[in-house]
């Protein structure tokens, strides 16, 4: 029996061959399309697992990714006993962007029922550009102008169809940015809330899920300093809890100094699973949930683990 980190080390050689990398992206596109066709809800359902590992933003930090995945055995994924959830932002401003993204996609392809790969705001598409964002430049640097641009176009097709949200045991909502505000007080079901109630809703909700951040104010929303999305307040989180029985929201998108932060009376948890420049967090964290315990839902905050700590 060996650990998932050992498997990932075997995967990363694919990044040396642009043709193999393009083939990997196309395989992932086919898989995500097939999952989308089968899925009736706007979220991925995760249930009947003994253990769930959640990683926040990685931003090309392969070392920290490996540190976390060495805690999981390949056999756990094969048996579908353990589930891995990635919250997005695999690329941008990190030394191993391509390796991180390729390894996550390979894990998804090899263990499709045991791995959930969500989109982050840095999984950029033409309708939702982000800046600064150096992933296209990294592809050109590594593979040349023509191949780099061709690969970037393929990756954008992939990013566009990545799922945005996952729901764990009908109680924990997992996403990259934050709770959408557009369907507040209008949606009667979680499907309507996260999927929208019309074409205009869908477009706006997608941006909000990828870009929103929590704020400690008794409001639904306020303008975001990011220039896109909103700051969502405690009133919205309480409404989502009461209307849809969502106990926790697990997200990434921000880089807290201690590797995580807690908002809205403990119901919103932010994780970052990377460390090092250009960010200034001193810890990288992940969530390790033991769902075999009856009280697991009361112990979500205690399930935050430190993957690596920077010595100052």
List, for residues 23-74, the tens digit of each pLDDT value.
999 999 999 999 999 998 999 999 999 999 999 999 999 999 999 999 999 9
Q: Is 45 helix (H, G, I), strand (E, B) or coil?
A: strand
CB–CB of 53/68 below 8 Å? yes
Pairing assessment for the beta strands 172-175 and 213-214 based on DSSP bridges: unpaired
Catalytic residue among 59, 83, 122, 253: 122
CB–CB of 253/232 below 8 Å? no
Span 155-188, pLDDT tens digits: 999 999 999 999 999 999 999 999 999 999 999 9
d(CA 218, CA 105): 39
Fold type of domain 4-165+259-309: Purple Acid Phosphatase; chain A, domain 2 (3.60.21)
DSSP assignment of 155-209 equals HHHHHHHS--EEEETTTEEEESS----TTTTT-SSHHHHHH-SSHHHHHHHHHHH
CA distance between the termini of the chain: 36
Side-chain-side CA neighbours of residue 98 (13 Å): 23
Q: What's the pLDDT at 311? A: 66
Q: Is the dihedral of CA 248, 252, 255, 257 positive or negative?
A: positive
d(CA 264, CA 122): 25
pTM to 2 decimals? 0.97
Q: What is the CA radius of gyration of the chain?
A: 18
Residue 122 among the catalytic residues: yes
């Amino acid at each position: 029996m060996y650990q998932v980190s050992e498997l990932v080390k075997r995967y990363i050689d694919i990044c040396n061959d642009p043709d193999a990398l393009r083939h990997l992206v196309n395989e992932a596109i086919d898989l995500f399309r097939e999952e989308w066709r089968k899925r009736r809800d706007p979220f991925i359902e995760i249930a009947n697992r003994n253990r769930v590992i959640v990683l926040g933003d990685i931003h090309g930090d392969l070392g920290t990714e490996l540190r976390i995945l060495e805690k999981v055995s390949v056999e756990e994924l094969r048996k579908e006993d353990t589930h891995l959830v990635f919250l997005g932002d695999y690329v941008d401003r990190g030394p191993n962007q391509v390796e991180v993204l390729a390894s996550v996609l390979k894990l998804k392809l090899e263990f499709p029922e045991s791995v959930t790969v969500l989109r982050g705001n840095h999984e950029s598409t033409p309708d939702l550009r982000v800046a600064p964002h150096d992933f296209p430049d990294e592809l050109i640097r590594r593979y040349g102008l023509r191949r780099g641009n061709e690969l970037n176009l393929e990756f954008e097709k992939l990013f566009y169809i990545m799922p945005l949200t996952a729901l764990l045991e009908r109680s924990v909502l997992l996403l990259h940015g934050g709770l959408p505000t557009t369907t507040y007080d209008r949606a009667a079901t979680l499907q309507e809330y996260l999927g929208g109630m019309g074409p205009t809703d869908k477009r706006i909700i997608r941006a909000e899920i990828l870009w929103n951040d929590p704020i400690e104010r008794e409001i639904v929303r306020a303008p975001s300093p990011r220039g896109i999305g909103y700051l969502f307040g405690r009133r919205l989180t309480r409404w989502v809890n009461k209307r849809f029985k969502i106990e926790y929201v697990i997200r990434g998108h921000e880089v807290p100094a201690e590797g995580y932060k807690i908002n809205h009376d403990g119901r919103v948890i932010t994780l970052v699973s990377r460390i090092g420049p250009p960010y200034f967090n001193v810890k990288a964290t992940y969530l390790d949930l033991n769902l075999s315990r009856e009280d697991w839902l009361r112990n979500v905050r205690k399930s935050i683990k430190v993957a690596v700590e920077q010595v100052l």
